[in-house]
């Protein structure tokens, strides 16, 4: 520099350094984070990192001082998701964040209502009723009007009212086409129900958004206040929003229009609880000029798994469209297996899990995802047989279900009249007019005489301690049980169970309730009847149930996960088994009958969700036969099996079970299916005999000599250890030594 007083040129400013929270974001994720102005729809496919995008976007808004915590509304569907968002954002910004509006729709709705309760006829201390409280309140109203609870059950009425609320209908807004539901009685009850809620200073969950909409309608200045306050609105799982939630969000986002909805139209599977997939499909119409960002890079699954799921969902017409991809190793193809019956399916899945466990697979990274709850029974029993611990998520285990416990209680009383616990459970189930007073008299006498309840009743029926009506009802119950006991020695257990459930009125009780879960409970009872087909005597079955319940007390933390496909959304596992891909079961026939093509597309989305839960391996299976009420019913493979792209699946089926249109099926004679053996690499034959393909005659036990290898539908393979006429002692490979009838086995 020639002039010492001359300043050097100032250095060029360094390029702005990316914030640290941008580290690791791919291009699409970063685009979604930085697109903070105007309406934005983020189509986030399964496993594409949407949670990270949401939290980073919120942190970015705060760190760029675009808004304060109290000027951002972030809505989730679960409290867990809300807590996770708060924790992640706090870590990203490096400090706790106070004063923000982050929570579930219901939580934020309640917060708004408590601030302005008087405007909708409530005080700020209003009570929020749970589902049971709602039903009890409706029952009070139906009792006042002497409405037959069998024709219009209070729980069913509650369900109708909640669906109206999900769609934004106050009583005066219910469409004419629906106003005559239940001969117009439901609408009338809805009006009285809302009036009663106001009197009680209470609201139900549906009201938390519906009354917000009423508040905004009646008091536009309040709406304006919140429209101005919330500079940014962010919504998670937008495809699961109902109409009320949709209207609520649209109203709040009108002023600034900085709304970001994150969701996946291909994972909209909750229409049965009010979700409207149309909300996400018409986002661009609702917000003209909206920016759509597609997150398509998957960080969860292998290319074959993604391609199989993408090929299947492409058959849906009502979707925005995206193609998931990954740069991970190719991995194995999705295996699709066709077997002869449901029991063979359970054995195959059980053996696969056993093999994975031997290779070091953590059991909590294994999931069996079923379409219907009754499917869990065969898998539970198979896992118990081979000693694999498991948990049923999102519902009780099969034998823990209320209807199954009730049915088993009936069987226990037939087998053992002195079983007081079982007898007390079902003596007035269904209702027979045997009330608490009658039972108290019976208990008092039984304790005094140190005898069982049934013996006490036998004595009291000869005296006058009991009221005539109760006495008559008890006499009928006792006579019916006596009759069933006479049948127990001659009827097959499954046949007797079906008769008991029918004659007792227990199945009719659930059929008449017409509650949302009633059909599923009836299906479970059918599955129970089918389960008894595997047992020669009622005593064997009851002992089996005891062993199953004992297993439930095990404290193993590493357990196989069994759950429904609906319950699996948002979860991921290394290995996923998807059984029961048959027409009528999946897609579910009841859903198709009620919703037509719209329901079919939702069922296909459910299949997509199931496949994309898998990180490393997925196996789909279907059976040609299933037993319902002890009767074999043929099943056709699900249409979804044909829709899977052949180049991404490894298809194998027992001979005669399935022929794929593109010919991509390996026919496995004698049911040789690929299952790696335990402890050594080999092919294990999983054999499932066709129903009635082997018909032994009298004296067949003599033909099965000691040492003969046999196959049993329940216990699998074994060798004859002792022959006693038509009874055999068999040492099974998995189940140990069992005594069975010769008619239940076939030479292997």
The pair of three-digit structure tokens given for residue 508, joined into one six-digit string: 């009719």
Which of helix, strand or coil describes residue 555? coil
Q: Is 727 a catalytic residue?
A: no
Query: Residues 71, 166, 207, 236: which is the catalytic one?
Result: 236
| Concatenated DSSP letters of 63-132 | HTTSS-GGGEEEEESSHHHHHHHHHHHHHHHTS---S-EEEEHHHHHHHHHHHTGGGGT--TTPEEE-HH
Distance CA 534, CA 713 (A): 8
Q: Which of 155, 165, 322, 613 is catalytic?
A: 613
347 near 684, Cβ under 8 Å? no
Angstrom CA distances, 506 to 32, 178, 397, 454, stand at 55, 32, 20, 20
Selected catalytic residue, list 29, 50, 239, 612: 50
- Catalytic member of 30, 31, 34, 51: 51
Q: Are 675 and 688 in contact (CB under 8 A)?
A: no
**Contact in structure between 335 and 650 (CB atoms under 8 Å):** yes
132 part of the active site: no
Closest CA to 677 of 337, 358, 366: 358
Give catalytic status of residue 237 as yes or no.
Answer: yes
Would you list the DSSP string of 464-478? SSS-HHHHHHHHHHH
Rounded to whole angstroms, the Cα distance separating 383 from 380 reads 5
- Cβ pair 674, 663 in contact under 8 A: no
Structure tokens, 296: 């398509």
Q: Is residue 181 helix, strand or coil?
A: coil
User: Strand 727-732 to strand 736-741: parallel, antiparallel, or no bridges (unpaired)?
Assistant: antiparallel
Give the residue carrying structure tokens 């948002």: 570
Which stretch of DSSP H or E encloses residue 575? strand 573-578
Q: Give CA–CA dist 182/191, Å, rounded.
A: 14
- DSSP per-residue codes, 619-646: EEEEEEEEEETTEEEE-PBPHHHHHS-G
Q: Let me know if 218 is a catalytic residue.
A: no
Contact between 385 and 556 (Cβ < 8 Å): no
Please state, in angstroms and as integers, the Cα–Cα distance from residue 610 to each residue in 257, 378, 563, following that order: 35, 20, 11
CA distances from 249 to 165, 199, 253, 444, 689 (A): 16, 29, 6, 61, 57
Long-range contacts of 81-90, Cβ-Cβ distance < 8 Å, separation of 24 or more: 81/51, 81/236, 82/107, 84/51, 84/55, 85/51, 85/54, 85/55, 85/58, 85/236, 88/51, 88/52, 88/55, 88/59, 89/55, 89/58, 89/59, 89/62
Has 56 been annotated as catalytic?
no
Question: Buried b vs exposed e over 484-511: b needs ≥16 C-beta within 10 Å?
Answer: beeebeeeebbbbbbebbeebebbebbe
**Catalytic option among 76, 239, 267, 612:** 267
Is 51 one of the catalytic residues?
yes
- Which DSSP letter does residue 584 get? B
Active-site option among 71, 204, 237, 582 = 237
Catalytic residues: 50-51, 236-237, 267, 613
């Amino acid at each position: 520099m020639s002039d010492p007083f001359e300043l050097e040129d100032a250095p060029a400013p360094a390029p702005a350094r990316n914030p640290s929270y941008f580290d690791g974001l791919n291009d699409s994720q970063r685009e979604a984070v930085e697109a903070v102005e105007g309406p934005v729809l983020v189509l986030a496919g399964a496993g594409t990192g949407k949670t990270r995008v949401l939290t980073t976007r919120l942190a970015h808004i705060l760190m760029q001082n675009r808004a304060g915590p109290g000027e951002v509304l972030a809505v989730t569907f679960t409290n867990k998701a809300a807590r996770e968002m708060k924790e992640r954002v706090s870590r990203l910004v490096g400090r706790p964040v106070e004063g923000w509006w982050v929570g579930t729709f219901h939580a934020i709705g309640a917060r708004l209502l408590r601030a302005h309760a008087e405007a909708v006829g409530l005080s700020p201390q209003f009570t929020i009723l749970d589902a049971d409280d709602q039903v009890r309140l409706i029952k009070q109203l139906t009792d006042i009007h002497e409405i037959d609870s069998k024709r219009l059950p209070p729980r069913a009425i509650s369900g109708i009212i909640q669906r109206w609320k999900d769609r934004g209908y106050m009583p005066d807004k219910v469409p004419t086409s629906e106003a005559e539901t239940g001969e117009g009685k439901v609408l009338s009850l809805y009006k009285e129900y809302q009036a009663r809620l106001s009197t009680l200073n209470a609201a139900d969950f549906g009201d938390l958004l519906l009354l917000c909409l009423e508040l905004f309608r009646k008091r536009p200045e309040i709406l304006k206040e919140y429209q101005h306050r919330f500079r940014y609105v962010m919504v998670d799982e937008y495809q699961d929003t109902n109409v009320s939630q949709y209207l609520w969000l649209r109203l709040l986002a009108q002023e600034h229009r900085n709304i970001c909805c994150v969701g996946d139209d291909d994972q909209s599977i909750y229409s049965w609880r009010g979700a409207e997939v149309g909300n996400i499909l018409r986002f661009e119409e609702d917000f003209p000029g909206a920016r759509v960002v597609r997150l398509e890079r998957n960080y969860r699954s292998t290319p074959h798994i993604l391609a199989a799921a993408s090929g299947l969902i492409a058959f849906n017409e009502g979707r925005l469209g995206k193609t998931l991809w990954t740069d991970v190793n190719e991995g194995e193809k999705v295996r699709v297996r066709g077997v002869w019956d449901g029991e063979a399916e359970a054995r195959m899945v059980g053996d696969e899990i056993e093999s994975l466990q031997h290779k070091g697979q953590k059991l909590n990274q294994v999931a069996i995802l079923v379409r219907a709850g009754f499917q869990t029974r065969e898998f539970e029993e198979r896992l118990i047989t081979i000693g694999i611990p498991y948990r049923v998520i999102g519902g009780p285990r099969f034998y823990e279900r209320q209807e199954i416990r009730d049915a088993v209680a009936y069987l226990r009383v037939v087998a053992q009249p002195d079983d007081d616990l079982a007898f007390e459970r079902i003596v007035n189930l269904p209702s027979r007019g045997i009330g608490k007073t009658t039972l108290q008299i019976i208990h008092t006498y039984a304790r005094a005489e140190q005898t069982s309840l049934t013996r006490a009743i036998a004595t009291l029926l000869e005296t006058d301690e009991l009221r005539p009506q109760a006495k008559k009802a008890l006499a009928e119950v006792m006579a019916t049980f006596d009759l069933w006991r006479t049948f127990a020695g001659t009827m097959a257990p499954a046949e007797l169970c079906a008769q008991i459930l029918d004659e007792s009125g227990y199945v009719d009780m659930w059929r008449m309730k017409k509650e949302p879960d009633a059909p599923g409970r009836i299906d479970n009872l059918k599955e129970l009847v089918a389960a008894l087909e595997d047992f020669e005597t009622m005593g064997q079955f009851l002992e089996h149930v005891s062993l199953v319940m004992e297993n439930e007390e095990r404290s193993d933390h590493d357990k196989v996960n069994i759950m429904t496909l609906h319950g699996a959304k948002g979860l991921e596992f290394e290995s996923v088994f998807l059984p029961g891909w048959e027409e009528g079961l999946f897609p579910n026939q009841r859903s198709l009958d009620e919703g037509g093509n719209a329901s079919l597309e939702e069922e296909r989305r459910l299949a997509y969700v199931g496949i994309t839960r898998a990180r490393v391996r997925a196996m789909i299976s279907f059976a040609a036969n299933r037993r319902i009420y002890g009767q074999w019913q043929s099943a056709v493979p699900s249409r979804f099996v044909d829709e899977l792209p052949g180049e991404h699946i490894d298809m194998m089926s027992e001979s005669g079970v399935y022929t794929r249109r593109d010919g991509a099926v390996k026919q496995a004679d004698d049911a040789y299916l690929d299952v790696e053996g335990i402890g050594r690499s080999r092919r294990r034959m999983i054999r499932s005999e066709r129903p009635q393909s082997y018909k032994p005659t009298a004296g067949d036990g003599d033909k099965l000599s000691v040492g003969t290898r046999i196959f049993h539908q329940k216990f699998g393979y074994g060798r004859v250890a002792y022959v006693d006429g038509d009874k055999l002692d068999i040492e099974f490979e998995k189940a140990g030594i069992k005594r069975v009838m010769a008619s239940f086995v076939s030479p292997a």
